[in-house]
């Protein structure tokens, strides 16, 4: 599963681990991605979305219909 949120577009950030001796090695900051299933009443079916934890809270506020409309507006197939 790719670390990419369908709603917010959150993706990994990159940076460095810095050791005690101050050597730098590459690291990756992944968003908290979860797969969640929602009932889509307008279509009479379930949809499975790959969302960050922040996006799950956003769906709770704006509703699943609006969230799916925003995802489709970004050009992602649902």
* b/e 41-74 (16+ beta carbons within 10 angstroms → b): eeeeeeeebbbbeebbebbeeeebeebbebbeee
Query: Cβ(26)–Cβ(34) under 8 Å?
Result: no
The pLDDT tens digits of the residues spanning 27-37 come to: 999 999 999 99
pTM summary value: 0.86
The pLDDT tens digits of the residues spanning 26-63 come to: 999 999 999 999 999 999 999 999 999 999 999 999 99
């Amino acid at each position: 599963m790719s670390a990419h949120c369908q709603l917010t577009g959150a993706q990994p950030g990159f940076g460095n681990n810095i050791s005690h001796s101050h050597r730098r090695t590459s690291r990756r900051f992944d968003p908290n991605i979860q797969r969640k299933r929602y009932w889509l009443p307008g279509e009479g079916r379930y949809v499975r979305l790959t969302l960050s934890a922040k996006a799950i809270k956003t769906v709770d506020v704006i509703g699943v219909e609006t969230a799916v409309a925003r995802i489709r507006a970004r050009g992602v197939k649902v």
